[in-house]
Structure 1
Amino acid sequence: MPTTNSWGNATSILADHAVKEDTAFYRSFTSEDEKAVLTVPQRIQDAWLKNDADTFADVFAENGSLLLQDNQLTSREQIRDFMRAGFQGGLKGAHVYGWPLEVKFLGPNVAIVITEGGIIRAGESEIAPENQIRAVWTVVRGEDGELSLFSHQSSPIKG
């Protein structure tokens, strides 16, 4: 059985959520704690790939926040409804891909991740320049040890 650490074991966390681990995603962030925190963006990418609004929203804390384009969503249910409409509309068949640029631990139960990547629209094979983003992820660890996304904000790289 894999050794666990204070934030958990990335392989086990992803397996528990039925997400295939992408070990290349970690890049230079290879400590056990960093990899565990980076399971949150991997879970979001997997939900996008499946266009699954429920799984996407369930990554967030109950009072989680998502700032996506001009939309500020402040609860898991708002996020679920927004993504469900998106996956049935303009985001149908789209997925996201990104990679970490930075991982910082702010306290025993809070970490910040900065990623770069973007949306790959249906029928496209790579991120178009106008869809490139940088994102800030606030990952929290609950009393039960579960990692969730408290806040996510993305900004376009090219205006």
Structure 2
Amino acid sequence: MDRSTDEAAIRRLFEALCEAWAREGASAVDAFYTPDSDYVTFDGSWLRGREANRRVHEELFAGVLAGTRLVGEVESVRFLGPDAAVVVSTGAVLWPWQRSAPAARRSRQTLVVVRGDDGRFRVASFQNTRVRPLPPSDSLFMRLFAAVQRVRLAWWRRRHPEALAA
């Protein structure tokens, strides 16, 4: 089955969401979500429903996100059926004076998009996570961390032998 038309619509949805962020803020972004959508922010907060999402983003756009724009790109679209897909994207929030985001503010998002009765895709679930790759496993930090964890595990096992029997 050719899904290219649906995939193009989903990619346009993501682009339009980014454009609406800069142009109109929370009220425009609101329209891209289903009424019962879930939105998990990069700090782990869980916004349940479009209204909660709008309310929190209105506060942010009036404060720390004032004048910002959202930039990003879709990395993949995987269809779950004829009317639903998982979208993985990367992005960041930029202030007007920034051309690109510092690496520490880069995020990866997982979106579940669904087709509504009107034929348009909307976001039913959005998970935003900061990109924080671990250091290489052979780095000094990771070797020391692993050594400390092995010592802690050995100590814990001596104190809780009943856990090993399970």
Same fold (TM over 0.5): yes
Q: What residue in structure 2 maps to residue 78 of structure 1?
A: 52
The equivalent position to 1:48 in structure 2, one of 21, 26, 37, is: 21
Q: CA deviation at 1:112?
A: 0.9
Shift of 1:66: 0.9
Q: CA deviation at 1:80?
A: 0.7
Alpha-carbon distance in 2 for matches of 1:157, 1:60: 24
In the alignment, the residues of structure 2 paired with residue 96 and residue 62 of structure 1 have an alpha-carbon distance, to the nearest angstrom, of: 22
Q: Show the 5 A alignment for 1:50-69.
A: 50-69=23-42
CA RMSD of aligned residues (A): 1.7
The structure whose Rg is larger is: 2
| 8 Å CA contact retained: 1:51, 1:95 | no
1:149 matched to 2:119? The reply is: no
SS of alignment partner, residue 126 of structure 1:
coil
| Bigger fraction of residues in helix | 2
> Structure 2 unaligned runs (5+)?
134-166
Q: Which runs of 5+ in 1 are unaligned?
A: 1-5, 8-30
TM-score using structure 2 length? 0.73
**Deviation, structure 1 residue 41:** 1.1
Partner amino acid for 1:153?
Q
CA contact (8 A) 1:120 1:128 kept: no
Contact 1:63–1:75 under 8 Å retained in 2? yes
Among residues 65, 76, 92, which one is paired with 1:118 in the alignment?
Answer: 92
**How far apart are 1:40 and its partner, in Å?**
2.0
Match of residue 70, structure 2, among 96, 104, 121:
96
Q: Report deviation, 1:108.
A: 1.0
Q: Which runs of 4+ in 1 moved over 4 A?
A: none
Which stretch shifts more, 78-87 or 44-53?
44-53
Between 116-125 and 105-114, report the one with greater CA deviation. Answer: 116-125
Q: What percentage of residue pairs aligned between the two structures are identical?
A: 26
CA contact (8 A) 1:119 1:131 kept: yes
SS in structure 2 opposite 1:40?
helix
Indicate conservation of the 8 Å contact 1:51/1:94, yes or no.
Answer: no
